[in-house]
Amino acid sequence: MTQIGYVKVQKELKKKIIKGEYIKGDLLPSENKLSKQYGLSRMTIRHALKDLENEGLISRQQGKGSIVEGKRKSYELLSKKGFTEVMKGKEIKIDTELVKKPRIENWRENFYWNLTTEEVSAKCIVFSRTRTIDKKPIMFEKTYIPNIGMKTFCSKPFVHNSLFDTLLINHDIEITGVIQKFRAVTASEKVAKRLSISKGSPILEIVRKLATNRPDFFIYSFLYCNTDDFTIEA
């Protein structure tokens, strides 16, 4: 299926960036080269590049060219710099551990978000993870995914230990947007245990609803963060 016009250019360039054929810092072929290559006028090529720029995949510099910025920024929440360390510019390694493997369950009652009848009847895939820094638990996360067209999700291991990479590579699902709500709460007994802190400590609660490239397919998650030593960036 050949596509027409600027959309073809856009998709091809996008794929090359996502796949890693172009990496951050690379220059795309110039507008004139792309023009000849695709048999389209320079203005049409510019139309295509404009959108890539808006998505943040490339930036552009007059006189230089179109610079690849890398893959779409994901919705990673944990700042890679600690609240105290942020001044010193230290980088910190974050580990992710699956504490409850994905399995299919019924949605819990009084779920925070409104669910469609289709979502409810399909049940949901549930799993939970903790994120640690220097073996110290910083974040506890519980994720709910509607069990619609997710056949292999529970049986196959995660890709790169990452939910987003797993969704993209195994299920062609891309995250396209997010609604997230923040609250400061006191730690419940369960959360306090998971985060190795005392019950009643101030905890950052984040409720998220992630939109995807599948219409009407959302992913829900609830996060509980100990922000004593690290902040959450959003």
Partner DNA sequence: TTAAAAAACTTGTATATACAAGTTTGATTT
Partner DNA sequence: AAATCAAACTTGTATATACAAGTTTTTTAA
- One character per residue 79-118, x = contact with a second copy (rule: CB under 8 A): x---x---x--------------------------x----
The H or E element spanning position 49 is helix 42-54
Residue type present at position 16: K
Q: Which of 2, 54, 61, 117 binds DNA (CB under 7 A)?
A: 61
Q: Which of 12, 16, 30, 148 binds DNA (CB under 7 A)?
A: 30
The total number of residues written for the chain in this structure: 234
Q: Which of 13, 14, 17, 28 binds DNA (CB under 7 A)?
A: 28
Look up residue 183 and give its two tokens.
């609250």
Q: Which of 204, 214, 217, 222 binds a second copy (CB under 8 A)?
A: 204
Q: Compute the distance between CA of residue 137 and CA of residue 140 in angstroms, rounded to an integer.
A: 8
Going by C-beta distance under 8 Å and a sequence separation of 6 or more, which residues neighbour residue 8?
A: 2, 38
Under 8 Å between Cβ of 187 and 217: no
Q: Compute the distance between CA of residue 37 and CA of residue 44 in angstroms, rounded to an integer.
A: 12
Task: Tell the burial category of 157 from Cβ atoms under 10 Å away from its Cβ (0-12, 13-18, 19+).
Answer: exposed
The H or E element spanning position 31 is helix 31-38
Choices 17-25, 44-52, 108-116, 194-202; region in contact with DNA by CB under 7 A = 44-52
Q: Does 56 bind DNA (CB under 7 A)?
A: no
Q: Compute the distance between CA of residue 75 and CA of residue 64 in angstroms, rounded to an integer.
A: 30
Q: Does 42 bind DNA (CB under 7 A)?
A: yes
Our CB check for DNA shows the closer of 46 and 123 to be 46
Our CB check for a second copy shows the closer of 23 and 113 to be 113
- We find the least distance from the C-beta atom of residue 75 to DNA, in angstroms, to be 25
Our CB check for DNA shows the closer of 6 and 127 to be 6
Q: Does 40 bind DNA (CB under 7 A)?
A: yes
Choices 27-35, 99-107, 160-168, 203-211; region in contact with a second copy by CB under 8 A = 203-211
Distances (CA, A) of 40 to 8, 58, 62, 210: 11, 20, 21, 37
Residue numbers at the binding site for a second copy (CB under 8 A): 50, 54, 79, 83, 87, 114, 179-186, 202-205, 207, 225, 227, 231-234
Residue numbers at the binding site for DNA (CB under 7 A): 4-7, 28, 30-33, 39-44, 46-47, 60-66
